[in-house]
Amino acid sequence: MHNNESLIENVVSYIRRQIFETKTLTPGDRINERELSRILNISRAPIREAFRELEEQGFITSIKYKGWFVPNFTDEEAVEINSVRTFLEGYLFETAMLVGCYTEEDLLPAKLLNEELALLEAAEDSEKVYHFLEKEMEFHLSLYSIAKNHCVLTRKLLENLSYQIRLSLSYTDNLHMHNFMKYSVQVHRLMIKYLSEKNRKAFQEIISKRLDKSKNIQNILCT
């Protein structure tokens, strides 16, 4: 017999698959709680709890008197979310470099993930955009851990934003995905390099370029 926690996780996984893999849920779509209960053959209580978890992660949103929906991100909103993440990352990494709380070994998971991203970018795979965005999110989350017990609130904000970034990039009409993938791998390498060297000045330059509002939408999203 399933416990409540596993039922909630099943609902979360099901919704995520519908959004990212099967794409049967797209931005603006309403999620029918009663229909979901029938399909998954579970009560509505764990579904509501799963919806609250998904809302916290930014995958779905609640509209009063209307129900639950998949967020409909505009290109401008995608840029805004990415800019907020960039600003918060700058603060977290600056703090980590200042206090010297990480080692080369702590950077290794991010290095390995970026190598996997490079292989995905070069692959001939119709599903590679989906897999790349999943792995790209893992890359950022792995780097946040180098702050150790510092910037706890910032890390929490970044973790939630990572899911929203993942969702917004999936449906950004003007995003040239192949350029995004190639450029992301290059920027990641620089991030790791400067973190390894604890080169705060060079890292601040990357952050400044990513926050440059004079860039067009593609360049902002791809840095």
CA distance 36 to 29: 14
Q: What's the CATH number where 16 sits?
A: 1.10.10.10
Q: Which pLDDT score, from 0 to 100, does residue 217 have?
A: 41
pLDDT band at 59; cut points 50, 70, 90:
confident
User: Same structural domain for residues 107 and 155?
Assistant: yes
CA distance 127 to 154: 32
pLDDT band at 154; cut points 50, 70, 90:
very high
| 21, pLDDT greater than 80 | no
Q: Which domain holds residue 182?
A: 75-221
User: Same structural domain for residues 90 and 116?
Assistant: yes
Query: For residue 67, what is the enclosing H or E element?
Result: strand 67-69
Among residues 34, 53, 69, the one where a domain terminates is 69
- Domains held by the chain: number: 2
| 216, pLDDT greater than 60 | no
Q: How much is the average pLDDT of 127-145? A: 87
Among residues 69, 102, 118, the one where a domain terminates is 69
User: Same structural domain for residues 28 and 81?
Assistant: no
Quick: pLDDT tens for 181-207.
Answer: 888 899 999 999 999 999 999 999 988
User: Same structural domain for residues 44 and 105?
Assistant: no
User: Same structural domain for residues 62 and 99?
Assistant: no
Quick: pLDDT tens for 77-111.
Answer: 878 888 899 999 999 999 999 999 999 999 999 99
Q: Which pLDDT score, from 0 to 100, does residue 2 have?
A: 52
User: Same structural domain for residues 176 and 193?
Assistant: yes
Quick: pLDDT tens for 66-79.
Answer: 999 988 877 788 78
User: Same structural domain for residues 107 and 156?
Assistant: yes
Q: Which pLDDT score, from 0 to 100, does residue 1 have?
A: 42
pTM of the model: 0.74
User: Same structural domain for residues 40 and 105?
Assistant: no
User: Same structural domain for residues 54 and 81?
Assistant: no
User: Same structural domain for residues 189 and 215?
Assistant: yes
Q: What's the CATH number where 84 sits?
A: 1.20.120
β-sheet bridge partners, residue 61: 69
User: Same structural domain for residues 92 and 201?
Assistant: yes
Among residues 19, 44, 69, the one where a domain terminates is 69
CA distance 116 to 89: 22
Q: How much is the average pLDDT of 108-135? A: 87
Q: What is the 3-state secondary structure (H, E, C) of 22-61?
A: CCCCCCCCEECHHHHHHHHCCCHHHHHHHHHHHHHHCCCE
Is 134 in contact with 182 (CB distance < 8 Å)?
no
Q: Which pLDDT score, from 0 to 100, does residue 171 have?
A: 60
User: Same structural domain for residues 65 and 81?
Assistant: no
CA distance 14 to 16: 6
